[in-house]
Structure 1
Amino acid sequence: MGHPVNADEPTSEESHGAARPGITRRGVLAVAAGGLVAGTVITLSGWTPQPKPILAPSGGVRRTPLPIPPLAEPEIAHDGTRIFSLTAQTGQSRIHPAGPTPSWGYNGAFAGPSLRAAEGDRVRIVVRNELPETTTVHWHGLKLPAQYDGGPHQPIAPGEEWIAEWEIEQPAATCWYHPHTHGTTEAQVTRGLMGLFILQDELSEWSGLPIDYGVDDVPVLVTDRSFNADGTFAARERTAFGLLGDTVIVNGALSPTFEVTRALTRLRLLNGSSARTYHFVVQGAPMTLVGTEAGLLPDPTPINSVTLTPGERAEVLVELEPGQTAMLQSVPHSLGLLQSTSRAAGAEDRFDVLELRAASSFAGPDLTIAGLGMIAQVLPPPLEAPDVTRSMVLTNNQINGATMEMSRVDQVVTVGARERWVIDNQHHLPHNLHIHNARFLVVSVDGEPPRDYERGWKDTVYAPPGRPVIIDVEFGRSADPEWPYMFHCHWLMHHDMGMMGQFVVIDDTQEPPTAISTPAVHAGNPGGGMNGSH
Structure 2
Amino acid sequence: MITTTRRQFMAGIAATSGLLATRSWAFNNNSHHSLKPIPVIDTLNSAETPVRLDLQMAQHNFGNGTLSDTFGINGTYLGPIVRVRKGQETAFELTNKINEPAAIHWHGLHIPGSLDGGPHQALEVGATWKPVLPIANPASLNFYHAHTHGSTGYQVYQGLAGVLIVEDDNSLAADLPKTMGVDDFVLVLQDKKLDSTGSVVFSPSNVNDTLAVNGTLAPTLQKVAPGLVRLRVLNASNGAFIKLSLSENQPMHVIASDGGFLTKPVSTDFIILSPGERYEILVDASHPVSLMTVRFDDEEIIAKPGIVDTTSKTTPVMAVALVPDKNKRGFTGSLPTNLSVLPAAEPKAAQRIRSFDLSENVPQRFSSIAPTLGNRCYGKNQIAMGINGRPMDMNFINEAVPTGEYEIWRVTSQDGAHPFHIHGCSFRILKQMGVTPPDYASGWKDMIYAAPGSVSELLVKFDHKADSKTPYMYHCHILKHEDCGMMGQFTVEDHATPYSAPVAV
* TM-score interval (norm. to shorter): 0.7 to 0.9
The answer to whether the Cα contact below 8 Å between 1:296 and 1:376 also exists between their aligned partners in 2 is yes
Query: Given the alignment, which residue of 106, 111, 118 partners 1:139?
Result: 106
Give CA-to-partner distance per residue, 1:61-102, whole Å, 9 cap, x none: 42222112111145987xx54521100011121115252111
Q: Could you tell me which residue of structure 1 aligns to residue 395 of structure 2?
A: 407
Match of 2:225 in 1: 261
* Aligned position for 2:66: 99
CA distance in 2, matches of 1:338, 1:411: 30
SS in 2 for 1:290: strand
| Shift of residue 51, structure 1, vs aligned partner | 4.2
* Partner SS, residue 198 of structure 1: strand
What CA distance in whole angstroms lies between the structure 1 residues aligned with 2:176 and 2:478? 32
Q: Residues 184 and 229 of structure 2 are in contact (CA less than 8 Å); yes or no, is this contact kept in structure 1? A: yes
Give the aligned CA root-mean-square deviation in angstroms: 2.8
Q: Which amino acid aligns with 1:103?
A: T
TM-score (norm 1): 0.80
- Contact conserved, 2:426 with 2:445, CA < 8 A, in 1? yes
The residue identity in structure 2 corresponding to 1:176 is: F
Give the structure 2 partner of residue 519 of structure 1. Answer: none
1:160-239 alignment to 2 at 5 Å? 160-236=127-203, 238-239=204-205
Q: Give 1:489's aligned amino acid.
A: C
Mapped partners of 2:125, 2:87: distance in 1: 33
1:354 aligned onto 2:320: yes
Task: State the distance in 1 between where 2:433 and 2:478 align.
Answer: 21
Equivalent of 2:256, from 291, 295, 301? Answer: 291
Partner residue of 1:527? none
Residue 456 of structure 2 is matched in structure 1 by 469
1:493 aligns with 2:477: no
- Deviations 1:334-370 (CA, angstroms, capped at 9, x unpaired): 966499xxxx99773521111111124652442221x
Tell me the residue number matched to 1:22: 3
- Tell me the distance in 1 between the aligned counterparts of 2:349 and 2:163: 36
Write the distance in 2 (CA, Å) between the matches of 1:61 and 1:476: 51
Deviation of 1:374 after TM superposition, in Å, equals 3.4
- Cα 1:260/1:148, change in 2 over 3 Å: same
Is 2:121–2:470's contact at 8 Å kept on the other side of the alignment? no
Alpha-carbon deviation of 1:446? 4.6
Is 1:506 aligned to 2:471, yes or no? Answer: no
Q: Which runs of 5+ in 1 are unaligned?
A: 1-19, 24-30, 41-48, 516-534
Q: 1:338 to 1:194 in 2, by over 3 A?
A: closer
**Residues 1:84 and 2:44 aligned together:** no
1:523 counterpart residue number: none
**Structure 1 position 436, deviation (Å):** 0.2
Corresponding residue number in structure 1 for 2:277: 312
Change in CA separation of 1:151 and 1:349 when aligned onto 2, cut-off 3 Å = farther
Q: Is the 8 A contact 1:413 1:504 kept in 2?
A: yes
1:474-503 Cα shifts (integer Å, max 9, x gaps)? 323335454201000000100100100000
Match of residue 265 from structure 2: 300
Return the alpha-carbon distance in structure 1 between the equivalents of residues 387 and 292 of structure 2: 33
The percentage of aligned residue pairs carrying the same residue is: 30
Q: Which amino acid aligns with 1:352?
A: M
Unaligned runs of 5+ in 2: 20-24, 303-309, 361-384
Deviation at 1:330, TM superposition (A): 1.5
CA deviations 1:449-495 (Å, max 9, x no partner) are 11122211110112122221111113233354542010000001001
Match of 1:390 among 319, 339, 354: 354
Equivalents in 1 of 2:431, 2:330: separation in Å?
42
Count of matched residue positions in the alignment of Structure 1 and Structure 2:
460
Cα deviation per residue 1:84-141 (whole Å; 9 max; x = unaligned)?
1100011121115252111111000000100111110101111001101111110000
Could you tell me whether the CA contact under 8 Å between 2:432 and 2:448 is conserved in 1?
Answer: no
Cα 1:295–1:233 shift into 2, 3 Å: same
Rounded Cα–Cα distance in structure 2 between residues aligned with 1:454 and 1:440: 11
